[in-house]
Structure 1
Amino acid sequence: MAVEPLLATRAQRAFISTITIQAIAVLVLIGITFRFVDEHVQLRATRYKTLPCYLALFALAELFELFMAFDALRLRNIIQLLGILIFHVALMVFAALQVHQTKTALVTMSAAACSVEFSFVNCEGPGTLWNKVQPFLITAPCIIAASWVLMLFWVKALYAEFGWAIFHVVGANPKMKEMYQWYQIMICLLKFDFFFFSGVTMQLLIVVLQRNSAEFGVTISAIPIVLILLVLCGLAVQREVKSVMTISLVMMLAALSYCMVVYKLVRFYQPGSAEQYETTRATLTIFTIVAFILLLATFAVGLRCFSDFDRGLQSSKVHSIPVRPSTSTYPSGNMSQKQSNTTGVPLGPRISIE
């Protein structure tokens, strides 16, 4: 049975198409909302920065999800596909939260005050800016939810399709199977770590921090440091380099402390600083908590993967991308050799990780 190349099957093409169409539709809705608001308010004002922040985060999220989808199909990685489904639910929650946050930013006058002095920007109800953009904001999470149902259907088809591909990667020993699964979880966590760290950083840079503040400089400098940390950790766990892995795990502990000290949640709710976080408090809180939990999980899984070093899994990690076998590689009479090596990688006994 041959391993199909990337996007060669109906399920793969449909999965990518669903994500792409959903991304375009949602970004168009957000762009329309952004344009309507930009026509009537100064988006540079802290109160209204939730809209450019929302647009920037969703653009980043959709591009990240599309990259993760292609990467999962390329690697035939079922665990990463499941991670994308969970991430898609997070996008739906984020889009739903934005309805409340946009209303908080726009509607600043009570119904009683609006009855006395009507304001197109600051009131709610018919004939107001909020009434104009509300349908676009509500439609976005609905589209994301509908696309999630379709994605779930295609992931089920891909799970069945990728079973044979994984057969060529993991050894027959059940312990090897378990170790490889933990390795896949680790790599997947590292990718999501980067997105959620970038999400928290982007929100703080756009909405809260002043360019002349010390915290702004620290936040900017943290981006390449975290990226290098995640890349080195991924290479270390794949190549089983103990020294680099040790440094990566120690830096993760430092990063956990950074999240709790610099971006501590109490600042979002303290009376002295609560006002500047008012229109982005919900998403900042969720992003910060998720980023912390993911980094903590990555550290724990990293320790688990570290304990599996030098136990015979490195070859499977390095040669983990299945390829379509060539029918002309072997003489037609040597069927046993043809069946024993279909990937170009030296193989031991194999078993599916399903």
Structure 2
Amino acid sequence: MAVEPLFGTRAQRAFIITIAVQAIVVVTMVALTFGMVRADAGTTFTNLGFKTLPCYLALFILAEIFELIMAFDALRLRNIIQLMGIVLFHGALIVFSALQVHETHVAIYNCQSCVTDPNHLWDKVQRFLIVAPCIVAASWFFLLFWIKQLYAEFGWVIFHVVGANPKFKSMYQFYQIFICLLKFDFFCFVGVTMQLLIVVLSKDSAEFGVTIAAIPVVLLLLAGCARAVKHEVKWLMTISLSLMVPAMSYFLYKLDRFYAPSTEDQYISTRATLTVFTVVAFLLLLASLAIGIKCFRDFDKGLHESKAHGQSYTPVKMQVIDAFRMGGMSERQASYFPGGAPLQQQISIE
């Protein structure tokens, strides 16, 4: 028999469908909220306090697209660690969607003069805002159920890539964790940057220019780090890991700006979400640095070939050799059994 290809099993199909369906429902709820507030506010919708709503919509679209791509990538590579990362990311989406109920409430009541009746508008959009975290939470439990089945289906893939050596298995798992962390670093950085550019920063401010300039630097850092660890390029890995320290310092600096008396007013409309994103981004970078150092220490220990080519996973064919159908086997094949004759069913992996 053959191992099922991509989307060849019910668990794989159900996992990706669950993410896709909840993405459509949640983005629809957020878009309806955005549309209702925009229609009620009219030309005053450009007020600074309302900027949190288009930012909220943009972040959710980004998050759902990112999660869908990550899920497809994890299923394609049979990557259990990335699937676990998706579950944690989905849990963070529950928190984010719940925070937006409070943030939208603040936006509407801080701009009471911009809407016809803030109480009536809040009553209209509240139900849609509450549906979002409920749907995300419900789908999270379904994902846990399907991942349990996917774990059983994909659990032997590391053996296929690195063999039975437990030391190689451990090193490869740290490599997978590091690559997964880099992907989530990318999302958190884009999330923080998007909120700053849409909601907070003035285009004429120096901080706006610094934030724009930081985008290509951080993206090159993450891409360079991924390439360095995959191909074991020591000088590039050293530079990439070193740059993570100032990147973490930048997030701590921004966190201080959110609550400093001189600057807190400009962040008030989206401070809760920005704080969560910034803290998570800092912790992810810290974890990336620690795991990256571990991966760096594993360079030149025989794992390069597995990292360079192991991700290009192709389903392994398995054959059941029936003890009662061995009559047509060649002499060479039969010699693998005691006495040259089969005693029981055997499974071979080609």
Specify the TM-score bucket, using the shorter chain as the normaliser: 0.7 to 0.9
**Residue 60 (structure 2) pairs with residue 58 (structure 1):** yes
Which secondary structure state, in structure 1, belongs to the residue aligned with residue 164 of structure 2?
A: coil
Deviations 1:99-132 (CA, angstroms, capped at 9, x unpaired)? 011101112499xxxxxxx9964643xxx10111
- Counterpart code for 2:86: I
**Residue 173 (structure 2) pairs with residue 181 (structure 1):** yes
Summarize the alignment of residues 223-234 of structure 1 with structure 2, pairs less than 5 Å apart: 223-234=215-226
Which secondary structure state, in structure 2, belongs to the residue aligned with residue 244 of structure 1?
A: helix
Residues of 2 paired with 1:308 and 1:327: CA distance? 32
Q: Which residue of 1 aligns with 2:294?
A: 304
Shift of 1:327: 8.5
- Counterpart code for 1:201: T
Q: Which residue of 2 aligns with 1:151?
A: 143
Q: Which residue of 2 aligns with 1:273?
A: 263
Shift of 1:253: 1.4
Q: Which residue of 2 aligns with 1:25?
A: 25
Residues of 1 paired with 2:114 and 2:288: CA distance? 49
**TM-score (ref. length: structure 1):** 0.87
Kept in 2, the 8 Å contact 1:170–1:176? The answer is yes
Summarize the alignment of residues 318-337 of structure 1 with structure 2, pairs less than 5 Å apart: 318-320=308-310, 321-325=312-316
- Counterpart code for 2:272: A
- Counterpart code for 2:141: V
Residues of 1 paired with 2:349 and 2:55: CA distance? 51
Kept in 2, the 8 Å contact 1:107–1:123? The answer is yes
Larger radius of gyration: 2
Summarize the alignment of residues 25-174 of structure 1 with structure 2, pairs less than 5 Å apart: 25-41=25-41, 42-108=44-110, 121=116, 123-124=118-119, 128-174=120-166
Residues of 2 paired with 1:257 and 1:140: CA distance? 33
Give the superposed CA RMSD.
2.1
Kept in 2, the 8 Å contact 1:233–1:245? The answer is yes
Kept in 2, the 8 Å contact 1:11–1:157? The answer is yes
Shift of 1:91: 0.4
Shift of 1:273: 2.0
Kept in 1, the 8 Å contact 2:90–2:136? The answer is yes
Residues of 2 paired with 1:135 and 1:305: CA distance? 47
Kept in 1, the 8 Å contact 2:3–2:317? The answer is no
Shift of 1:224: 1.6
Task: Name whichever structure is richer in helix by fraction.
Answer: 2
**TM-score (ref. length: structure 2):** 0.88
Deviations 1:283-339 (CA, angstroms, capped at 9, x unpaired)? 0001001001100110111000000001111111112232124699xxx85768xx9
**Residue 285 (structure 2) pairs with residue 283 (structure 1):** no
Kindly tell me the number of residue pairs found equivalent between the two proteins. Answer: 325
Shift of 1:341: 7.3
Give aligned-pair identity as a percent.
61
Any gaps of 5 or more consecutive residues in structure 2?
320-328, 337-346
Any gaps of 5 or more consecutive residues in structure 1?
111-117, 343-354
Kept in 2, the 8 Å contact 1:89–1:145? The answer is yes
Which secondary structure state, in structure 1, belongs to the residue aligned with residue 161 of structure 2?
A: coil
Kept in 2, the 8 Å contact 1:88–1:148? The answer is yes
Select the residue among 183, 193, 202 that pairs with 1:201. 193
Tell me which of the two structures has the higher relative contact order, counting C-alpha pairs closer than 8 angstroms and 6 or more residues apart: 1
- Counterpart code for 1:165: V
Kept in 1, the 8 Å contact 2:2–2:317? The answer is no
- Counterpart code for 1:31: A
Kept in 2, the 8 Å contact 1:4–1:323? The answer is no
Rate the CA distance shift 1:121–1:309 in 2: closer, same or farther, 3 A: farther
Summarize the alignment of residues 201-220 of structure 1 with structure 2, pairs less than 5 Å apart: 201-220=193-212
Rate the CA distance shift 1:88–1:121 in 2: closer, same or farther, 3 A: farther
